[in-house]
Amino acid sequence: MSAVNRQCRLAARPSGLPERGDFQIADEPIAEPGDGEVRVAVQYVSLDPAMRGWMSDIPSYMPPVGVGEVMRAGAVGRVTASRHPRVEIGDHVTGMPGAQDHAVAAGDAVFKVDPAPAPLPTYLGTLGMTGMTAYFGLLDVGAATAGETVVVSGAAGAVGSATGQIAKIKGCRAVGIAGGPDKCRFVVDELGFDACIDYRSEDVAGALREHAPDRVDVYFDNVGGEILDAVLTRLAHRARVVICGAISQYNAPGGMRGPSNYMSLLVRRARMEGFLVFDYASRFSEATREMAGWLAEGRLTAKEDIVDGGVGAFPDALLRLFRGQNVGKLVLRVAGE
């Protein structure tokens, strides 16, 4: 356990792709929890595309991270001090403690996890917000049912890799879209998707004619931009387009690009719908139980891409995400288990 609390703070609001200078690494004394609070020694920090939005001064579903504040981040760690009646020292918990070594948080805002059945990083991925996003986005917002064709962009990423696997478990045809042959191989060979389109070398709309011959019933979109437009041309009657993210557009200097083919929603009587996973909080335990069962049965593969370097490596890890260099859930190791 380090003697100081190293933090990664937001130093400036980025324009386009975040740079190292947009962050500041700072050490401060380890704090003591107040009444009802706990202190967590962070072990793994989650890297998420949504972080780019939190760094911008644009009204959204959460207030932006203030300049000078610790970067907001999901993480898993071990409780080292507690003034909350239901949390004990030694408990493993997840929550949003931020990109720092030692976080003080409200005890009500952390959730105990059991390190026995799954490695801790899995609680940031398949058994965490990532998995919940895939589960509720696909099954609730997308209303995917057996026999339908599900297309997922960012298919080798955290949410995408879980989404396609859940689609397969539910009896759908799963077609991924990812960047590069290695990711596509991973998506098909290791995750069991029926096919994966390499958007860097293939024409996405053309490849969908081959791999989604009955058109696309559910499109789970993590990327936006040209890929969203391409899939819109191949929607099935009454298709559902699930808007989960738009990572291709978050750093676009000219601002977001809208889907110019959106009138296919009319031609196909289709809908495009957004969601936030937090709205499903009351059903997380139900979904996590089902996901853990699939993991235990070997029907679901949890893939984490763990990078080292501690809190000081947070900026580089985040850039890795926006450069599309991760395979599976990208996690920063802060301290060992």
80, 261, 301, 325: which one contacts a second copy (CB under 8 A)? Answer: 261
The verdict on 321 binding a second copy (CB under 8 A) reads no
23 vs 280 by CB, closer to a second copy: 280
Chain-centre distance of CA 16, in angstroms?
A: 20
CB 318 within 8 A of CB 251: no
Residue with tokens 């957004």: 274
The verdict on 201 binding a second copy (CB under 8 A) reads no
The verdict on 206 binding a second copy (CB under 8 A) reads no
290: tokens are 């089902």
In sequence order, which residues have a C-beta less than 8 Å from that of residue 24 and are 6 or more positions away? 8, 9, 10, 11
Residue 139 carries which DSSP code? I
45, 270, 307, 332: which one contacts a second copy (CB under 8 A)? Answer: 270
The verdict on 246 binding a second copy (CB under 8 A) reads yes
CB 8 within 8 A of CB 295: no
97 vs 137 by CB, closer to a second copy: 137
181 vs 274 by CB, closer to a second copy: 274
The verdict on 266 binding a second copy (CB under 8 A) reads yes
Q: Which stretch binds a second copy (CB under 8 A): 34-42, 75-83, 242-250, 319-327?
A: 242-250
The verdict on 215 binding a second copy (CB under 8 A) reads no
26 vs 143 by CB, closer to a second copy: 143
DSSP for 38-98? EEEEEEEEE--THHHHHTSSS--SSPPPPTTSBPP--EEEEEEEE-STT--TT-EEEE---
The verdict on 57 binding a second copy (CB under 8 A) reads no
The verdict on 274 binding a second copy (CB under 8 A) reads yes
SS3 119: coil
Cα–Cα distances in Å, from 135 out to 166, 258, 275, 312, 314? Answer: 7, 26, 12, 32, 27
136 vs 314 by CB, closer to a second copy: 136
Subset of 81-140 contacting a second copy (CB under 8 A): none
Q: How far is the CB of 53 from a second copy (least distance, A)?
A: 9
17, 265, 319, 335: which one contacts a second copy (CB under 8 A)? Answer: 265
Residue 332 carries which DSSP code? E
Name beta bridge partners: 44.
76, 333
CB 172 within 8 A of CB 193: no
The verdict on 60 binding a second copy (CB under 8 A) reads yes
31, 109, 256, 296: which one contacts a second copy (CB under 8 A)? Answer: 256
Site string for a second copy, 217-236 (x = CB under 8 A): -------x----x-------
In sequence order, which residues have a C-beta less than 8 Å from that of residue 75 and are 6 or more positions away? 40, 42, 43, 44, 45, 46, 94, 95, 96, 97, 98, 99, 103, 124, 334
Q: How far is the CB of 218 from a second copy (least distance, A)?
A: 14
SS3 37: strand
The verdict on 48 binding a second copy (CB under 8 A) reads no
138 vs 196 by CB, closer to a second copy: 138
Subset of 61-80 contacting a second copy (CB under 8 A): 61
Residue with tokens 């991760």: 326
Q: How far is the CB of 129 from a second copy (least distance, A)?
A: 15
171 vs 274 by CB, closer to a second copy: 274
Q: Which stretch binds a second copy (CB under 8 A): 8-16, 264-272, 296-304, 323-331?
A: 264-272
Summarize as ranges the residues that interact with a second copy (CB under 8 A). Answer: 60-61, 224, 229, 243-246, 255-276, 279
